[in-house]
Chains A and B, each alone.
Chain A
Amino acid sequence: MLEFDQVSKSYPGGFVALDRVSFKLEKGEMAFLTGHSGAGKSTLLKLISLIERPSVGRVLINDVDLSRIRRNHIPYVRRDVGIIFQNHRLLMNHTVFDNVALPLVIEGFSGKDMVKRVHAALDKVGLLDKVRCLPHTLSGGEQQRVGIARAVVNKPPLLLADEPTGNLDPDLSKDIMRVFEAFNQVGVSVLVATHDLGLVARMKYRTLTLKQGKMINDGLLQYQEDPL
Chain B
Amino acid sequence: MSILFSGRVTSGASAHKISAARRFVMFWVNHVRQALFSLGELWRTPSASILTIGVLGVSLTLPATLHLLVKNVQQVSDSFTQAAEISLFIKADASATQISSLQKILQADKAVARVSHISKQQALEEFGQVSGFGAALNYLTDNPLPDVLLVLPKNTAADSARQLLERLSKERIVEFGKLDIDWLTRLDAIVSLLRQAVLVIAVLLLGAVLLIIGNTIRLSIMNKKDEIEVMKLVGATDAFIQRPFLYSGIWYGVFGGLLAFLIVEAMLWWLQGAIVSVTSLYGSEFRLMALSVSEFFSLMLLAVVLGLSGSYLSVRRHISAIEPTGP
User: Taking beta carbons and an 8 Å cutoff, which residues of A are in contact with B?
Assistant: 42, 45-46, 49, 51, 61-62, 64, 69, 72-73, 75-80, 83, 85-86, 89-91, 102-104, 106-110, 113-114, 150-151, 154, 157, 160, 162
Contacts of B203 in A (CB 8 A): none
CB distance from B126 to the nearest CB of A (A): 85
- Is there an interface contact between B2 and A114, defined as CB atoms closer than 8 Å? no
Contacts of A80 in B (CB 8 A): 2-5, 8, 10
Instruction: Return the chain A residue nearest B327 by Cβ.
Output: A162
A51-B323, A76-B2, A160-B327 known; A108-B235 Cβ under 8 A:
no
Considering only residues 122-171 of chain B, those with a C-beta below 8 Å from chain A are: none
- Is there an interface contact between B16 and A113, defined as CB atoms closer than 8 Å? yes
- Is there an interface contact between B12 and A114, defined as CB atoms closer than 8 Å? yes
CB distance from B2 to the nearest CB of A (A): 6
Instruction: Return the chain A residue nearest B325 by Cβ.
Output: A51
The CA-CA distance from A114 to B16 in the complex, in Å, is: 12
Interface footprint category on B = 20 to 34
CB distance from B4 to the nearest CB of A (A): 5
- Cβ 8 A contact of B324, one of A51, A69, A90, A91: A51
User: Taking beta carbons and an 8 Å cutoff, which residues of B are in contact with A?
Assistant: 1-5, 8, 10-13, 15-16, 26, 30, 226-227, 229-238, 240, 323-327
- List the 4 closest A-B pairs by CB distance, nearest first: A109-B12, A79-B235, A78-B235, A162-B327
CB distance from A12 to the nearest CB of B (A): 15
Contacts of B237 in A (CB 8 A): 72, 75, 106
17 of the cross-chain contacts (CB-CB < 8 Å) are A42-B326, A45-B327, A46-B327, A51-B324, A61-B4, A73-B3, A76-B2, A76-B3, A79-B235, A83-B234, A85-B327, A86-B327, A89-B226, A89-B229, A103-B235, A110-B30, A157-B8
Contacts of A85 in B (CB 8 A): 233, 327
The CA-CA distance from A69 to B235 in the complex, in Å, is: 14
CB distance from B43 to the nearest CB of A (A): 14
Instruction: Return the chain A residue nearest B44 by Cβ.
Output: A93
- Cβ 8 A contact of A76, one of B1, B13, B26, B238: B1
The CA-CA distance from A46 to B233 in the complex, in Å, is: 11
- Cβ 8 A contact of B12, one of A69, A75, A108, A157: A108
